[in-house]
Amino acid sequence: MTHTLFTNARLIDPEGDTDQAGALLVVDGRIERIFDATAALPDHPDMVVVDCLGKCLAPGIVDIGVKVGEPGERHKESFGSAGLAAAAGGVTTMVTRPDTDQTVDTPEQLDFIRRRASDEARVNVLPMAALTKGRAGREMTEIGFLMDAGAVAFTDCDHVVTDTKVLSRAMTYARSLGALIVGHPQDPGLSRGAAATSGKFASLRGLPSVSPMAERMGLDRDIALVEMTGVRYHADQITAARALPALERAKANGFAITAGTSMHHLTLNEMDLADYRTFFKVKPPLRAEEDRKAIVEAVRTGLIDVIGSFHTPQDEESKRLPFEEAASGAVGLETMLPVILRLYHAEELSLPCLFRALSFNPARLLGLDSGRMTAGAPADLVLFDPDKPVVLDRFKLRSKSKNTPFDGARLQGRVLGTWVAGHRVFDEARP
């Protein structure tokens, strides 16, 4: 048996909502025991000791909604490069999207992804599959066969299924199998072609825009279908304050609904579009500062369950275009933790609260036993210094694509080490 002892650690426990000094013992890839700061520590002749030097040790991040370019767009991101970026960012589990150049909608494509990920990625990879064939919204996929092939959830990503009969049938079938559906709450008619959130700022900049009510309308429709079918449903990105009351009512009514948001909507706002920098173009578009604050508060209270990077690699050719024509999306696997720590340093969210949304809640949503700092849980861990300053240089990112809005940003927080099942997959000293 292999024994690893993490000493002098600042243990971040999202489940117990604690942040305290202690030590942690890992045996054969699982957490064996947690020690407080005064406890006598075990000894073993083959023990590997990791002195954390007072830095933070937390559950590895479970990132829902990662896009990898295989199959079809390997030049943007491969499982190898995404795995490197994830490990360097403290992400121990990537939950991948099916919106690749060939939509992931058959068991054969899922098998390809699982084999490629097993061969190339340093971290755990769990694939989602398309809800409808080709993400075209006309015919649902073989949900049962795809679950047997390893799909952990079903989503058409930003291709909203407009035919409510097709969607209700897919939800009913998914409910019978206990499958999770991930929706993108937007009214597609209102949001088509939008590059900014409607308001004075978008008008002054001359950008095509969409009202935040498009998100509210899309969420209202999906909640009604959840009520009708009883399916397990996760709203991938809630970014507008006006959507929060509907989400709160749905949860109060006992519907099987959870919600996520993105690192970008928690830390940026529409004013960041002032220079027309296309690296700030994401989907949904960045919102007003009032919306950002409301979403941060929703994470704090637990109304919003999950924070994700929504890692979307785009090559230079698709970004070096006029703002309204440029592709949406930004990379985030490697940058999410230092960016999200802005909220900790601003005293808006505590570290246990952040890791509840980054690790514990997404793991629980997917039925994983990771995301916890407790005996028996997998030793998927991240060691980080929350105070270490860093100036982000996009050309040093491990992702093949470099489209980050945080290029040149002064951040605080650096990952020092990442472990998957007790095996070290990233060491800052030997990157």
At residue 43, the pLDDT reads 84
Question: Is the pLDDT at 400 greater than 70, yes or no?
Answer: yes
**How far are the Cα atoms of 12, 161, 181, 372 from residue 34, in angstroms, in the given order?**
12, 46, 35, 12
Query: Taking a C-beta distance cutoff of 8 angstroms, is the pair 104, 125 a contact?
Result: no
Summarize the confidence of residues 28-38 as an average pLDDT. Answer: 94
- The pLDDT score that the predictor gives to residue 310 is 97
Task: Give the tens place of pLDDT for each residue, 111-135.
Answer: 999 999 999 999 999 999 999 999 9
Asked whether the beta carbons of 90 and 59 are under 8 A apart, the reply is: no
- Cis ω before 284 (30° cut-off from 0): yes
* Least confident among 3-7, 172-176, 196-200, 414-418: 196-200
Which three-class secondary structure state does DSSP give residue 381? strand
In order of their start, the domains of the chain are 59-365 (3.20.20.140)
The residues, ordered by sequence, that sit 6+ positions from 325 with a Cβ below 8 Å of its Cβ are: none
- CA pair distance 236, 247, nearest whole angstrom: 12
For residue 301, pLDDT beyond 80: yes
* Residue percentage of the chain with pLDDT more than 90: 91
Q: Compute the average pLDDT of residues 98-116.
A: 94
> Which one-letter DSSP state was computed for residue 242?
G
Per-residue pLDDT band for 252 (boundaries 50, 70, 90) equals: very high
| Confidence check: pLDDT of 163 > 70 | yes
88-92, 165-169, 225-229, 269-273: the lowest-pLDDT one: 269-273
Report residue 98 as tokens: 């099916």
Highest mean pLDDT pick, 162-166, 204-208, 271-275: 162-166
The label of the residue with tokens 């996520």 reads 260
Residue with tokens 């070096």: 320
Short-list 356, 337, 362, CA closest to 418: 337
Beta bridge partners of 383: 57, 417
* Minimum mean pLDDT range among 11-25, 184-198, 292-306, 350-364: 184-198
The whole-number average pLDDT for the span 361-387 is 97
pLDDT surpassing 80 at residue 399? yes
Least confident window among 148-152, 220-224, 273-277, 382-386 = 273-277
Handedness of CA 50, 52, 58, 62 (dihedral sign): negative
Q: Does the bond joining 71 to the residue before it have cis omega, within 30 degrees of 0?
A: yes
Output phi, psi for 193, to 5 deg. 80, 0
Q: What is the mean pLDDT of the chain?
A: 96
Tell me the pTM: 0.95
Output the pLDDT for position 431: 62
Q: At 261, phi and psi to the nearest 5? A: -150, 175
- Residue 250: per-residue pLDDT: 98
Rounded Cα distance, 314 and 331, in Å: 8
Q: Give the pLDDT of residue 204.
A: 85
How many whole angstroms from its chain centre is CA 369? 17
